[in-house]
Amino acid sequence: MRGLTTKQKVWWTVIAVLVFVYALFPVLSIFMTSLKSTSDIRSGTFLPPRVSLENYEQILSPTGAAQDLFLPALRNSIGICLIATAIASLLAMFAAYAIARLDFRGKKLILTTALAVSIFPVVSIVTPLFNLWRNIGLYDTWPGLIIPYLSLTLPISIWTLSAFFRQIPWELEQAAQVDGATPWQAFRKAIVPLAAPGVFTTALIAFFIAWNDFVYGIGLTSTSAARPVPAALAFFTGSSYFELPTGAISAASIVVTIPVVVLVVLFQRQIVAGLTQGAVKG
């Protein structure tokens, strides 16, 4: 805001408030719906006439109608996404380091292919994976979701981390090797600490991508053994055939959003540092 006139500051503040309200209004609407009882949801009012926690009791209480669907799905999502993120971050770190440091033919082709794979429509390969996983025994298992999640997280992780490694001075690694460090020691002690913000940022992005996946979760699972939360929400039902589970789905959506919000709030400085470091062109 430095160097701006008072009028410009006012306009930028108004724009920021409008963007903030526009971005958070859907979340606020879902949160308000989650606090309504079934009868209040039908009223159509934005604010709940009376605050009710019955929707959260349905998904979290041991006697809740939807807890058998939601709680196992929540455990599956946390475990599968953490494992997929850890594997993707580790593999992407080595691959991105090789792409940034080594000079070989086809390096740009690899990066272009990684970017193309990351935007490839997932729905087009679910059916072949479904048939393959059924034949080899990976259907409705954690590995059966972790492997496809790597296809979502690994390409974008390689693309992002390669930008971070290009910003690290090559002379630091050379100096470490001159002092007697092996290539592995130079990489582990000189390069990895400097690339930590980028690796952390990439891991968060990969986790969010895996956490929000619906297509793989609904197409490659059939029971609560491996079904993640986004897919489990599709199986919520009301107390009768004519009742929609709007309140329970809203409550589950809020609970699922909490880990993402907590991660962003706790590590916002690392995220900003990592993104700005990767954005600087060396």
CA dist 38 and 241 (Å) reads 14
User: Which pLDDT belongs to residue 143?
Assistant: 95
pLDDT of residue 278 exceeding 60, the answer is no
- Are the CB atoms for 230 and 73 separated by under 8 Å? no
CA dist 61 and 179 (Å) reads 60
Give the residue carrying structure tokens 């940022």. Answer: 201
* 3-class DSSP state of 44: coil
Which fold would CATH assign to domain 65-279?
MetI-like fold (1.10.3720)
Q: What does DSSP assign to residue 51?
A: -
Residue 16, CA atoms < 13 Å, CB-side half-sphere? 7
Phi, psi for 43 (deg, rounded to 5): -70, -25
CA dist 233 and 217 (Å) reads 11
Neighbours of 196 (CB within 10 A): 14
pLDDT of residue 172 exceeding 50, the answer is yes
Give the residue carrying structure tokens 């007697």. Answer: 180
pLDDT of residue 47 exceeding 90, the answer is no
pLDDT of residue 147 exceeding 90, the answer is yes
User: Which pLDDT belongs to residue 195?
Assistant: 82
The per-residue pLDDT of the chain, averaged, comes to: 84
**Arithmetic mean of pLDDT, 120-125:** 84
C-alpha distances in angstroms, 183 versus 48, 189, 197? 62, 10, 22
Least confident of 55-69, 73-87, 261-275: 261-275
Give the residue carrying structure tokens 């809020």. Answer: 254
CA dist 181 and 74 (Å) reads 45
User: Which pLDDT belongs to residue 282?
Assistant: 43
Least confident of 3-12, 68-77, 193-202: 3-12
3-state secondary structure 170-190: HHHHHHHHHCCCCHHHHHHHH
Task: Locate the domains of the chain by residue range.
Answer: 65-279
CA dist 139 and 223 (Å) reads 10
pLDDT (tens digit, 9 = 90+) per residue, 204-259? Answer: 889 989 999 999 999 999 998 999 999 998 888 766 666 678 888 888 889 988 88
pTM of the model: 0.84
**Arithmetic mean of pLDDT, 24-44:** 85
**pLDDT band (50, 70, 90) for residue 156:** confident
Burial of 8 (0-12, 13-18, 19+ CB in 10 A): exposed
pLDDT of residue 28 exceeding 70, the answer is yes
Q: Report the percentage of the chain scoring pLDDT > 70.
A: 91
